[in-house]
Structure 1
Amino acid sequence: MTTRSPAQQQQLEQLYRDHHSWLSGFLQRRLGCSHSAADLLQDTYLRLLTRGRLPEHAHSRGYLTRIAKGLVIDLYRRRRVEQAYLDELASQPEASHPSPEVQAQAVEALMLIDRLLRGLPSNVSRALLMHRLDGMGYREIAEQLGVSVSSVEKYIARALQHCLMVALEQTL
């Protein structure tokens, strides 16, 4: 988090006072749940703090809306990934189910993979997952995707490069 001057602190406090109720209502309408809305409201202001810059007064509502909408999308994506994991887990014998802590770690890992692969074309991300998760060779992947081995090599290189770039962006 960045250090703020007294003037910036006052601007942030004013932004919060001016838009807190409106943003809370906006999120409650989007989510239909006051608890989730409260969490995302807090996350919206936290994101604003960590970005290190505040919007101009005239653009405050739009800026907060953009942040909040992104967080809503992230929440729905997380729920979808978590539900897919739980559905897959339900198809396995209960004795093989991991502890709740391990389940939470698995969901976090799946969210990281989702974040890393987001934005890649389907064949590119599928090739990487087939290679890394399923242990498939390039020739086998090529046959499944209906492309050449050379294409699979390019797909995997592109996917790895993309993942590296996303990871580097997140550390900055």
Structure 2
Amino acid sequence: MEDPAAPIDLLSVYLEKRANLVRFFAARLGSVALAEDLAQDLYLKVAALDPAEPILSPSAMLFRMGSNLMLDRLRKERRTVVRDDAWIKTERTSIGGEDVVDDPPADEALAGRQRLAQLTTALEDLPPRMRRAFQLHKLDGLSHAETARAMGISISAVEKHISGALKTLLARLG
């Protein structure tokens, strides 16, 4: 039996019991690699403890600390699985148990980017007042009256600018 009055170096007890700890963790985790990782985590915890702190049963303390670390790791993995499953359910569509990718095919995505580049170029080529009216109304979502106030022109002028912009853009983009 260990004398509680004598200071015990928990790190030396850890080194002595390390192989037993790894076997203990491996039996519960089903993986020697995970057990080794856990033993390393335990070493870091033990090394951070105050060596002058009296310990009545160092072996029991090591196994308890290791069990707590193992439970923390298992809980974290469980939370990760639940979180990842929830994300997959919201981001993916399943048909008949198979995931269906919602992303467009690469050729459609490329065509969309090219069409957007054409639209941007066509917008830049519009006369400045026509482009400004179009942007305020169609892109910024202002009404004709709000666009007219922002530009200091009449509502009918805004309507003419927007109509002209649409005709020009449709002609350029087909």
Normalising by structure 2, report the TM-score.
0.44
Higher fraction of helix: 1
Query: Which structure is larger by alpha-carbon Rg, 1 or 2?
Result: 2
